[in-house]
Structures are given as C-alpha cells and as structure tokens.
A and B are shown apart, each in its own frame.
Chain A
Amino acid sequence: GNSVTQMEGPVTLSEEAFLTINCTYTATGYPSLFWYVQYPGEGLQLLLKATKADDKGSNKGFEATYRKETTSFHLEKGSVQVSDSAVYFCALSVEKAAGNKLTFGGGTRVLVKP
C-alpha cells in the first residue's frame, strides 16, 4: 500500500535557524508528492509539490526535492521566521482508477521562537 513517514515533532528552533523536516514514502506506482501546511487556526493549504523524480518544489523560501532513489521528499528552509510556526504534512497521491486521494504523514509541528 501507500504510506508516508515524517519525523515526529514538535520541532522547536530559533528565528533564522535552518529547518529540515524529513519525509519518506512507499507507493504502489509513481506518486506525486506534496507538502501541506496548517497554520494555527487555519485550514490546510498547499505549500509546494513535485510530480516527477528530481523535480524541486519551492514556495515561501521552502524547498523539497523529489528523490526517487531514496523515496524521500525532505522539506527545508534556510532561515525560518516566527510566522513559519505551523504543522507541516507530507503527502502523496498515486493514480488509481477511481480517484487520487492524498495519503498523509502524521504531521510535524514546528515552533519558531523569536
């Protein structure tokens, strides 16, 4: 089956620190990979995505590269801000006959302190 494993949180770091959230996956088929973010009190929103191997998704200073050889899609940001405090979800979608549901990881809570 399909599954996503991401590092457990919470991750606490200071402003301007480097952030990495590890994400690995197993999939039946060729998946598309996503990072979604949930800010406090808000709904899930797409942060970035990559649809084929070696693609790099980027948005708001965050980056993630689709690594097929290691089945990974780690999220990185070089200098975090307090406003990046949120829960981050890694997810995948694999084509099937009746829908392309997202399979999510467990989420990683990130807290950035000033």
Chain B
Amino acid sequence: GAGVSQSPSNKVTEKGKDVELRCDPISGHTALYWYRQSLGQGLEFLIYFQGNSAPDKSGLPSDRFSAERTGGSVSTLTIQRTQQEDSAVYLCASSSWGGITDTQYFGPGTRLTVL
C-alpha cells in the first residue's frame, strides 16, 4: 500500500514568511508524528497526534510552530514568521496505534530553506 507522503518536497522561502507543510499518513494509522532533522540538532521530535486526543506539543521549539490534524488523517505543520534557524528537513511519520513497540513509518520529508 501507499506509504507516508509529504508535500512539498522542497520549499524555499524568505525570512518572515509563513509556510505550511503537509503530511498524508498511511491509511488507517491513528498515530502521527512530526520530527525535524537539522545539521545542528540532529533528529528531534516536534509534535504527536493520536486519534482524537489532544496532541503532545512538547517538542515544538517556539510558538511560531503549530500543527493540526483534520479528520484524524492529513496533518499540516505551520511555521509563522520563518527564521533562518528553521531551515531543516521536516519529517512526518505514522504508526498504527502509537504504542512503544509500534513501528513508525517515515515520509520522504520536506526540505525547508529560509533565506
């Protein structure tokens, strides 16, 4: 079946602009995660959605970052007033039930460059 898809694959924006990144998880997966991969910070967790529960936002680096998940499926990560330090690859992952033994399947990522 189809894997996790993300769009766009690349995004170049100017400092101060807002960006939206999209993630389509594997059909039927109830858990969805956003991570960020950058040279300075490695791979870091941003936010987690599980079904209709309140999201775990503990990894969001600032209040410029927000995310939503509509209908328990597609998710959008929004970065407002982008800064150069936001440049990174943003990865989305989904898993079937969100347990600690559950495998997370990753999308190809969105490479964000803030000029």
Contacts and interface: CB of A to CB of B under 8 A. Distances in A.
Nearest to B42: A106
The size class of the interface chain B forms with chain A is 20 to 34
Contacts of B25: none
A54 to B, nearest CB: 15
Contacts of B105: 45-46
Interface stretch (B11-19, B60-68, B79-87, B95-103): B95-103
A43 interface: yes
A20 interface: no
A102 B35 CA distance: 9
Interface stretch (A9-17, A69-77, A78-86, A89-97): A89-97
Contacts of A105: 42
Contact of A44 (B45, B58, B91): B91
Given A98-B53, A99-B98, A107-B42, 16 more contacts: A43-B106, A43-B107, A43-B109, A44-B91, A46-B104, A49-B101, A49-B103, A95-B99, A98-B48, A98-B50, A98-B54, A101-B48, A102-B93, A104-B42, A105-B42, A107-B43
The 10 closest A-B pairs by CB, nearest first: A99-B48, A104-B43, A98-B56, A44-B106, A101-B45, A99-B56, A93-B100, A100-B100, A43-B108, A51-B101
Interface of A: 31-32, 36, 42-46, 49, 51, 89, 91, 93-95, 98-107
Interface of B: 31, 33, 35, 42-45, 48, 50, 53-54, 56, 58-59, 91, 93, 98-109
8 contacts: A36-B106, A46-B105, A95-B100, A98-B48, A98-B53, A101-B45, A102-B35, A105-B42
